[in-house]
Amino acid sequence: METFAVQPRDMTCHTLLYAAHQAFRRDLDRLGAAAAAGKGRASHVRAGWENLKEQLRLHQELEDGWLWPRVERAVAGRRAERAVLEEIRAEHARLVPLIARVDAAMDAAMDAAGQGGDLPAAVRELREALERHLLHEEMSALPLAESVLTGAEWRALAAQARDRCEAGTPLFVPWVVDGIGPVERSRFLTALPRPLRELNRVMWEPRYRKRRLWSI
Ligand SMILES: [Fe+2]
């Protein structure tokens, strides 16, 4: 089977990690707009939020369970680099109560027949914290990972992600390309192995569109 690994350091990192970061930002902006418009209880908004949480969970699982431990091993004894990774893990943990706060505000909005509660504030707080975290990864942790991991390790990371797409998380690809420009879309899809690209075209993307996430 083909793999992601034509240019592992560039393709894998960009495709799997940076592109997901952009999708997190996009979805939280959508949630913020819906909350500001008092549409926090709309069922497709709720479904979009549930999918966003799941994508975030899977992304962090891949980073915390696979990526960061390998980077930590590679930088053993280098205090400054290890400190960056500790900060990244702490930031992941700090997102948990902020996500719970959005959940709670969304439930309150539903109880109050769409009054909104403090959902806009909760989303804003999460968006700001997530932005700081994503920038930290993009400016420090991911370049560090790119500098110390081998091509074989990136290929293994890509294989993990590919298996997840085929087995349990088929919404990842259509979710990433949802609403992005034609050039970025083409670049992302071209970086995928052909079988995944076909699966996305005939099955994943139609299925994703049918869910109409975020429509209000
Ligand atoms: Fe990340």
The pLDDT value recorded for residue 7 is: 42
The pLDDT value recorded for residue 192 is: 83
Q: How far is the CA of 126 from the centre of ligand 1 (A)?
A: 15
Q: How far apart are CA 199 and CA 75, in angstroms?
A: 38
The pLDDT value recorded for residue 4 is: 30
The pLDDT value recorded for residue 169 is: 64
Q: How far apart are CA 137 and CA 92, in angstroms?
A: 11
The pLDDT value recorded for residue 175 is: 95
Q: Which two tokens stand for residue 58?
A: 């899977």
Q: How far is the CA of 112 from the centre of ligand 1 (A)?
A: 34
Q: How far is the CA of 59 from the centre of ligand 1 (A)?
A: 6
The pLDDT value recorded for residue 20 is: 92
How many helices (H) and strands (E) the chain has is answered by 12, 0
The pLDDT value recorded for residue 155 is: 83
Q: How far is the CA of 187 from the centre of ligand 1 (A)?
A: 20
Q: How many Cα atoms occupy the beta-carbon half-sphere of 6 within 13 Å?
A: 9
With CA atoms as reference, report the closest residue to 82 among 74, 72, 92.
72
CA distances from 3 to 139, 150, 154 (A): 27, 16, 11
Residue matched to tokens 């992304």: 59
Q: How far apart are CA 115 and CA 196, in angstroms?
A: 42
Low-confidence ranges of the chain (pLDDT < 70): 1-15, 109-117, 165-169
Q: How far apart are CA 40 and CA 42, in angstroms?
A: 6
**Residues lying with their CB under 5 A of ligand 1, a single-atom ion:** 137
Q: How far is the CA of 115 from the centre of ligand 1 (A)?
A: 33
The pLDDT value recorded for residue 5 is: 36
Question: How remote is the C-alpha of 166 from its chain's centroid?
Answer: 17
Tell me, what DSSP letter sits at residue 213? Answer: T
Q: How far is the CA of 90 from the centre of ligand 1 (A)?
A: 13
pLDDT tens profile 51-101: 999 999 989 998 999 899 999 999 998 999 999 999 999 999 999 999 999
| Non-local CB neighbours of 157 within 8 Å, separated by 6+ positions | 12, 16, 62, 66, 67
43-62 vs 151-167: helix crossing angle, rounded to 10: 150
Walk me through the domains of the chain, giving residue ranges and CATH numbers.
Answer: 8-211 (1.20.120)
